[in-house]
């Protein structure tokens, strides 16, 4: 087999055999197929599509590109959550410790910022000293001691996704359902979990803009997971505006810590409770979602969830003092307030644009090797549906780089749409599958 023949085959709309998918994934993972050929194949497959069998072969091949873990010495049900990516989405920092405090173990392998969306690893690494690159032995040991462990992909776990994820980011081939399904399910199935909760996002700030596309992606991932013997559920959640009040790395970590301190108002806290409650249900801790919600609230209000977070930060080399003194997180030298130019209701906040603004201020990466400015971020004072008067603050930008400040503040202003009438409220969780 030659890569160019497979690129041609897909370019012309033909279907691959499982052996051909295996050839491509193994060749790329072992550096036998170069980036330029894999990029061409990715784009051909992006445009032509992959059918159900090809997608399944892709998941299996990526899953078995590395080790598939098991945790026989952790007697609790092992459960994780994964989001398809959004703006302001820091739920992992709350739900992993909250679910762990309620009787499941959470071996979580997360990603970095991808396109305009933020990444859990970058948020965690804003905590001074926090190490997300643990060896597998360290990962197992932290999981055993803390009930949760939060790491990035290693060379051992789904290495095919590690390479492909970065290449897709640079070749505009992220938002494809088969690629997203294979990327997410390969690394999640390799973690050694019994159950998985998927947060599948739709809307302007998500990779799947349309609800129906997100729903079909969720159904495909559930099918793949269940065929591999796991309990999987999916929440379809609205990503038409950023989640919570803050977007950026250190500022989102701060916001997550505030929820762990018991500040349970707003969409971000609501989603944390929903997702972690479903983790308890798929983990078999309880069958009743209301019971699960009560347990999660209880674990947060009693401080147990925060204590788990302190413990895991410490176990992974970080400064757990940030939990009580968030000013120890990186900050920004400058700030600028954006005000409403007219009175009315906030009708839309372009989530993807807010994500790109934070990225352009250094809060995300253009290339994998780029350094992150953890202190850059945006605070949203007004969210969709809020009434604002002319001259009132809409948002504050926090930044270290003065260079692009005028242009980025103009874009931040333009990301807000103010209308005369109050918009119809949209549910945060549209459907649970």
Active site residues: 82, 161, 168, 183, 187
Packing angle of the helix pair 289-301, 92-100 (nearest 10 deg):
100
C-beta closer to ligand URA: residue 114 or 292? 114
Which tokens sit at 66? 């590395």
Q: With the CA atoms of 379, 384, 390 and 396 taken in that order, what torsion angle do they form, in degrees rounded to the nearest 10?
A: 10
Query: Which residue in the shown chain puts its C-beta closest to ligand URA?
Result: 183
Number of residues that bind ligand URA (CB under 6 A): 9
Q: Alpha carbon of 68 to those of 54, 61, 64, 84, 111: distances in Å?
A: 21, 12, 7, 22, 18
- CB distance 187 to 158 below 8 Å: yes
The span from the CA of 219 to the CA of 2, in Å, is 33
Q: Within 10 Å of residue 315's Cβ, how many Cβ atoms?
A: 20
Is residue 85 part of the contact set for ligand URA (CB under 6 A)?
Answer: yes
Buried b / exposed e over 254-268, threshold 16 CB at 10 Å, is bbbbbbbbeebeebb
Residues β-bridged to residue 109: 151
**Residue among 98, 124, 149, 184 that touches ligand URA (CB under 6 A):** 184
> Tokens 């803050």 sit at which residue?
246
C-beta closer to ligand URA: residue 180 or 218? 180
Is residue 84 part of the contact set for ligand URA (CB under 6 A)?
Answer: yes
Is residue 364 part of the contact set for ligand URA (CB under 6 A)?
Answer: no
Least separation in angstroms between CB 111 and ligand URA: 5
C-beta closer to ligand URA: residue 42 or 346? 42
Least separation in angstroms between CB 202 and ligand URA: 13
Is residue 235 part of the contact set for ligand URA (CB under 6 A)?
Answer: no
List the interface residues with ligand URA, window 154-183 (CB under 6 A): 174, 179-180, 183
**Range list of H helices, 190-283:** 211-227, 249-260, 267-282
Least separation in angstroms between CB 300 and ligand URA: 26
C-beta closer to ligand URA: residue 25 or 114? 114
C-beta closer to ligand URA: residue 202 or 416? 202
The span from the CA of 41 to the CA of 283, in Å, is 38
DSSP assignment letter at 180: H
DSSP assignment letter at 86: -
**Range list of H helices, 261-404:** 267-282, 289-301, 304-315, 351-358
Is residue 244 part of the contact set for ligand URA (CB under 6 A)?
Answer: no
Least separation in angstroms between CB 287 and ligand URA: 29
Least separation in angstroms between CB 368 and ligand URA: 15
Is residue 111 part of the contact set for ligand URA (CB under 6 A)?
Answer: yes
Least separation in angstroms between CB 85 and ligand URA: 4
C-beta closer to ligand URA: residue 63 or 260? 63
Binding site for ligand URA (CB under 6 A): 84-85, 111, 114, 174, 179-180, 183-184
């Amino acid at each position: 087999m030659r890569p160019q023949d497979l690129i041609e085959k897909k370019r012309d709309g033909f279907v691959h055999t499982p052996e051909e998918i295996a050839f491509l994934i193994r060749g790329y993972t072992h550096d036998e197929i170069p980036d330029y050929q894999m990029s061409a194949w990715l784009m051909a497959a992006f445009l032509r599509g992959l059918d159900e069998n090809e997608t399944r072969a892709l998941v299996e091949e990526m899953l078995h590109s590395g080790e598939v873990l098991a945790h026989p010495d952790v007697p609790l049900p092992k459960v994780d959550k994964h989001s398809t990516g959004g703006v302001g989405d820091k739920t992992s920092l709350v739900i992993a410790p909250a679910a762990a405090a309620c009787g499941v173990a959470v071996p979580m392998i997360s990603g970095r910022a991808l396109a305009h969306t933020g990444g859990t690893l970058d948020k965690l690494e804003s905590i001074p000293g926090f190490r997300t690159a643990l060896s597998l032995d360290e990962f197992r040991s932290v999981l055993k001691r803390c009930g949760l462990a939060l790491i990035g992909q290693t060379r051992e776990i789904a290495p095919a996704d590690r390479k492909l994820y970065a290449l897709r980011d640079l070749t505009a081939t992220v938002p494809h359902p088969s690629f997203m399904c294979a990327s997410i399910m390969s690394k999640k199935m390799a973690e050694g979990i019994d159950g998985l909760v998927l947060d599948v996002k739709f809307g302007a700030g998500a990779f799947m803009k349309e609800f129906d596309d997100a729903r079909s992606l969720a159904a495909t991932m559930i099918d793949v997971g269940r065929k591999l013997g796991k309990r999987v559920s999916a929440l379809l959640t609205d990503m038409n505006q950023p989640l919570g009040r803050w977007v950026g790395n250190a500022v989102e970590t701060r916001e997550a810590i505030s929820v762990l301190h018991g500040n349970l108002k707003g969409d971000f806290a609501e989603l944390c409770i929903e997702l972690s409650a479903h983790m308890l249900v798929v983990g078999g801790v309880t069958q009743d979602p209301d019971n699960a919600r009560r347990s999660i609230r209880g674990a947060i209000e009693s401080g147990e969830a925060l204590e788990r977070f302190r413990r895991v930060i410490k176990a992974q080399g970080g400064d757990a003092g940030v939990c009580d003194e968030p000013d120890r997180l990186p900050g920004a030298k400058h700030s600028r307030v954006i005000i409403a130019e007219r009175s009315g209701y906030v009708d839309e906040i372009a989530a993807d644009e807010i994500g790109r603004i934070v990225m352009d201020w250094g809060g995300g990466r253009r290339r994998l090797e780029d350094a992150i400015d953890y202190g850059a971020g945006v605070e949203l004072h007004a969210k969709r549906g809020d009434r604002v008067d002319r001259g009132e603050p809409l948002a504050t930008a926090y930044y270290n780089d003065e260079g692009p400040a005028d242009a980025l503040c103009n874009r931040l202003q333009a990301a807000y749409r103010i209308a005369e009438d109050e918009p119809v409220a949209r549910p945060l969780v549209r459907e649970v599958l």
